Chains A and B, each alone.
Chain A
Amino acid sequence: KQEVTQIPAALSVPEGENLVLNCSFTDSAIYNLQWFRQDPGKGLTSLLLIQSSQREQTSGRLNASLDKSSGRSTLYIAASQPGDSATYLCAVSLGDDKIIFGKGTRLHILP
């Protein structure tokens, strides 16, 4: 059974710092991996999608990497801003079209 784990569960960093969020999954047979952002009381917003054949994707200050063999993905946020404060979730898509989410990392950027 595929399990998705995100560590840490919560993170506070000063504004301007670079940071890394971690996601691990138990079964490397994934179709793709997505990173989402969720603001309080809101739905999820897709940030980056990495296909299983790709190693990384970049969008602005965000960079997501994927290492299927080790079952890991990281989301790198450069030059963090208070507006980056949110919960970040990763989700893996399996061959049978199931999408499994982690519990998320609550990020707080200190002004």
Chain B
Amino acid sequence: EAGVVQSPRYKIIEKKQPVAFWCNPISGHNTLYWYRQNLGQGPELLIRYENEEAVDDSQLPKDRFSAERLKGVDSTLKIQPAELGDSAVYLCASSLERGSSTSGANVLTFGAGSRLTVL
């Protein structure tokens, strides 16, 4: 099993430029999360998907951030335009649907993250 795959691992851009991150969750995981982690902090949720539906995007700065999960599998997170304060690690995670009888439901599996530096 490949795990949660994210790309790119590192991205350096100048402020006001656009950037996009891609996530491929574990096969069969219908819940997908995007988190942002600042240095020395815990991850903070940006958006959560159940299949292709965004069920919690209350913490997503919608003026510059957007996300999509077409077909309920892969997801992209976009920032346009990027600001200096957006420098962080963007983590994608996936899990089985809560309430599933399958062992391991609701256990989050994280990708390695995409580290963004905005100059």
Query: Chain A interface (Cβ within 8 Å of chain B)?
Result: 4, 31-32, 34, 36, 41-46, 49, 89, 91, 93, 96-99, 101-104
Contacts and interface: CB of A to CB of B under 8 A. Distances in A.
Contacts of B112: 42-43
B64 interface: no
A91 B42 CA distance: 9
A43 B91 contact: yes
Given A43-B91, A97-B56, A31 B110 contact: no
A95 to B, nearest CB: 10
A31 B107 CA distance: 12
Interface in B72-119: 91, 93, 98, 106-113, 115
Given A43-B111, A44-B91, A46-B107, A97 B55 contact: yes
A104 B111 contact: no
B43 interface: yes
Given A89-B42, A99-B33, 9 more contacts: A34-B108, A43-B4, A43-B91, A43-B110, A45-B110, A49-B107, A97-B55, A98-B45, A101-B43
Interface size on B, as a range, is 20 to 34
Given A97-B48, A97-B55, A34 B107 contact: yes
Interface of A is mostly: strand
Sorted nearest first, the 10 A-B pairs with minimum C-beta distance are: A101-B42, A43-B110, A44-B110, A43-B112, A103-B42, A101-B43, A43-B113, A46-B107, A43-B111, A49-B107
Contact of A103 (B41, B93, B115): B41
Contacts of A36: 108, 110
A104 B113 contact: no
Contacts of A97: 48, 55-56, 98
B106 A31 contact: yes
Contacts of A32: 106
